[in-house]
Chain A
């Protein structure tokens, strides 16, 4: 119990640090951050000083308060889910822009992580079980090669060969705009548009699961209880899955938590290549438009989500591994 409280404390601290980084980020930007935005509005004609001030109030940058008061205001706004107004989608609030895109990202991410984790772990089990065979020498090296390819370049190759050349799968956007929302054709188009981005993510992340699983299972295979299981004459499948793999799976679960951040980072860039309407694509549009409030909010949302996922994974780890519970009692 004391352990759980310690971990909760750690995550609260992590959230606070992330939020503070988020607060200071826009203050790193050179010059006055609203200038470029107001400049864009002034392209249609000069703005009256009062209008300028009204915009500054709307954007929340008119204050002459000192940094500390600004910080407190920032925290208050955050608690109310108020991230300000987006420059590039003015006058839409940032939260609305994000909520339109975040479900695309979560959907794609979850499906690809689940597929990649299961597939990678299974190949890892198989590889460790057949240690020293051709399969075991090739699979880890081949998947590591695939993993050292940048996600976005992998996406390029898939778009080029499976999309532009062979026309097997659609490679632009998240759904077919010709169909009405809610029809079955629309949902099918969502599915078909997710195939290439999902394949990209699965291929690029496979090696991590494979290697963790293989290397831990190589260790558990030499344990006495596996030897005992062999001596008892249990079937190979039972020894492989219920004895060796079951005891090797824990490190790969904590690996799942730690690599969440990497995968999210990779997905952001993959979304750009496919113009997939997720949060990553929104982030890139925000970069190109110098939309600082949107950038700040996206960083905070992604970071808080990853921290939450990590916390859940740790709880799951604790429930799964009786040794941790025992030790901490």
Chain B
């Protein structure tokens, strides 16, 4: 048993401290996770606190149009005279929060479908598995684009279209996990004690799958951000909202590319790429922690190993 077992259970400071310590240990355990968390943390801070520092409306048209970067406008201005840095900060906030919300919704739906199917088995499982597999082979982005094209334009449409098309991976991985949990002793015990089914599903099984779910969130987050930016870039998002995707849409519409206004289309894309890279690094780290075979040997150890094999 862990040493925490001896402590009285209801001391919140210790609980919080323990959680922080666990997270800190996870972050510093692997160089890839450290760098990745740094990048993601930076973007989260900008998303939360950045908009507080912007006092004018970044969508407002001004007369200072098409300025290249200067001290006054660090990233220059658009064809409409809007400050690009301000737009970028507000856009970071929009993209990250919509992305996070959508990702969590996807994980939840996938978790419910995966867990329910695997737990009940039989016809339910058969049906839900086939449905997930079908959604895995149907090209998701194409369906999302067409779906969003038929619905009224807006952020919610973009989010919904991506939600509908990307739950299947989550459902499949959680189904596999639930299948292996279903016949464990503690579940059998809970069932024989007459616990209600929903309680078993969400208080016995789900907590045991939380590591998988959180890894899934890390994994999905960047895909969702890219998919949202893609749909918004196609003009399917809300054109009154500033986000990474709509910034790129306006840059394309105003031919920033041909005119050579690199300061307009480079920053939003770079943000998407950097944020995605941060999440990917965390994910690599999780993989390496979970599967020791992927871990890289320290070079000295490797040389020794080679010697042994050559002997």
Q: Mark B196-209, 1 if CB is under 8 A from A, else 0.
A: 00000000000000
In angstroms, Cα B272 to Cα A18, docked, is 31
Within 8 A of B (CB), among A206-221: 215, 218-219
Binding site of A, secondary structure by majority: helix, strand, loop or mixed? Answer: helix
Residues of A within 8 A of B296 (CB): 131-132, 136-137
Is B280 interfacial (CB 8 A cutoff)? yes
**Residues of chain B at the chain A interface (Cβ within 8 Å):** 32, 130-131, 133-134, 136-143, 145-147, 149-152, 222, 226, 229-230, 233-236, 248, 252, 257-258, 260, 262, 265-266, 268-269, 272-273, 276-277, 279-281, 284, 293-294, 296-299, 302, 309
**Chain A residue at smallest Cβ distance from B287:** A215
Contact among A141, A150, A157, A303 with B233 in the assembled complex (CB-CB below 8 Å) = A150
A287 contacts B130, CB within 8 Å? no
B276 contacts A148, CB within 8 Å? yes
Task: Sort chain A's interface into a size bin.
Answer: 35 or more
Give the most central of B146, B151, B273, B277: most A CB within 10 Å: B146
Knowing A13-B134, A18-B138, A230-B309 touch, does A149 contact B143 (C-beta < 8 A)? Answer: no
In angstroms, Cα B222 to Cα A262, docked, is 14
Residues of B within 8 A of A141 (CB): 32, 280-281, 284
A152 contacts B233, CB within 8 Å? yes
Give the most central of B150, B236, B279: most A CB within 10 Å: B150
B150–chain A nearest beta-carbon distance, Å: 5
Instruction: Give 24 A-B contacts (CB < 8 Å), ordered by A residue.
Output: A10-B133, A28-B147, A28-B150, A145-B273, A148-B280, A150-B229, A150-B272, A152-B230, A153-B268, A153-B272, A153-B273, A156-B265, A258-B136, A261-B137, A262-B140, A265-B141, A265-B230, A273-B252, A284-B234, A287-B236, A295-B150, A303-B139, A303-B142, A307-B137
A261 contacts B152, CB within 8 Å? no
Residues of A within 8 A of B258 (CB): 164
Within 8 A of B (CB), among A256-303: 258, 260-262, 264-266, 268-269, 272-273, 283-284, 286-288, 292, 295-296, 298-299, 302-303
Knowing A10-B130, A150-B230, A268-B145 touch, does A261 contact B138 (C-beta < 8 A)? Answer: yes
**Chain B residue at smallest Cβ distance from A227:** B309
In angstroms, Cα B140 to Cα A14, docked, is 13
